[in-house]
Amino acid sequence: MIIDKVNIDLKGTLLSGSCFRAIEEDDGSFTNILSDRVVNLKQDGNKLIIKSSNMNNIENIIKEYLDLGTDYESINKELIKMNPNLKSMIDKCNGYKILNQNSFEMFISYIISQNNNVKRISKTIESISYDYGEKILFDGKEYYLFPKYEVLKNLKEEDFRKYGVGFRDKYLVDFLNKYKTLNDIDKLSTEDALKKLMTVKGIGLKVASCILLFGYKRMDVFPIDTWVKHYISSNYNIKNDIKEIEKFSKKSFGKYSGLVIQYMFHVERNIKD
DNA sequence: TGTCAGGTCCTCA
DNA sequence: TGAGGACCTGAC
C-alpha cells in the first residue's frame, strides 16, 4: 500500500520523542505499534510505503496517525508571518508532524516520563505491553499492543514497581482509578481540560500538556520541558523560568504554541547546528 | 561509581 | 505563595 504526494519527515516525526515505540529497521523503515495493529512505514521521497499486520482501513488510519490531513504549510506560513524570526527554525522542521496517538497510552507514557529518560521510558512501556498487551505476529516477529484500560485497571502499585516505574507507581494507580471520570476531556476547553487532568496525582502542567497535544490534538498547549526551556532561554531574551516562558509562548505563538514548542524540542534535541 | 533524566509533590519559611 | 529538596531506577 502506498500513499503518494506526502510532505513528511518520517524519521524526524517518529523519533521526535513523542512516540516511545517506533523501531528503526536496517532498511530505513520504521516499525511501530498502533492501538490495534503493527505497521511498517518506509519513506521514499514523497511516497509512504505501508505494510501492516492488519490492512483494513489502513490508509485512513495512517493519515490520521501521521496527521496528514492538517495543512502544516499554511500553519507554518501563518506562524512566520506572526513571528518572522521563527523562519530559520521552522525551515529545519519541514515535514515534521504532531502524531495523533492513543490517549490512554499517552496518559501512562507521560506519567512514566517524569524525571525519567527516553530509553528507560520505552523499556518500561515495552515490558508492561509484553505482560499485559495482545500479541501480534507481523513479518515473522512477535509484537505486543499497548494494554487496554480494562486489563491495567486491576494492577496495584507493587505490580507497577516490577517494571521499574519507581515512585510513579502510585500516580499510575491514581490515574487508573480516575480514568473513567476523564472521559469528557474532549469536550472541555483546553484550560479546563488541563485543570481536570492535573487533578490526577503525578500529572502536572507539562505532562497534562503532552497528553492534550499528542492524545487529543490540542495545539494550544505549552509542554515546556528542560530542552525547550534551554532553547527559549538561549535563543530569546527570556528569563529561564517556566511561568515567564509560558507567558512568552502564549503571546507569541497563540493557538499553535504546542506545535512551535515541539519544533523547538525537535531542533534542540535532534538537530544540532 | 556517581550523575542525571522530556517533572511533580511536599514541606517549611 | 514560592523556593528547594526528595523521589525510583537504570543508562552512561
Rounded average pLDDT over A17-22: 93
Q: How far apart are CA A224 and CA A264, in angstroms?
A: 10
**A107 pLDDT more than 80:** yes
Distance A85 CA to C8 C1' (A): 41
Where does residue A67 fall: left (phi above 0), alpha (psi -120 to 50 degrees), or beta otherwise?
left
Q: Is A156 left (phi over 0), alpha (psi -120 to 50) or beta?
A: beta
Tell me the CA–C1' distance in angstroms for A115 and C5: 14
DSSP classification of residue A187: G
Average of per-residue pLDDT across A157-179: 97
Whole-Å CA distances, A110 to A37, A61, A113, A125, A138: 21, 23, 5, 11, 27
Which positions in strand C are less than 7 Å from the protein's CB atoms? 7-12
Distance from residue A242's CA to nucleotide B2's C1', rounded to whole Å? 28
Strand C contacted by A247 CB (< 7 A): no
Question: Does residue A242 reach within 7 angstroms of strand C, measured from its CB?
Answer: no
Assess whether A161 (CB) lies less than 7 A from strand C.
yes
pTM of the entire predicted model: 0.96
Grid coordinates standing for A218?
490540542
Mean pLDDT for all residues in chain A:
94
**Per-residue pLDDT reduced to its tens digit, A204-240:** 999 999 999 999 999 999 898 888 888 887 788 887 7
Q: How far apart are CA A165 and CA A121, in angstroms?
A: 9
Give tens-digit pLDDT for A23-77: 999 999 999 999 999 999 999 999 999 999 999 999 999 999 999 999 999 999 9
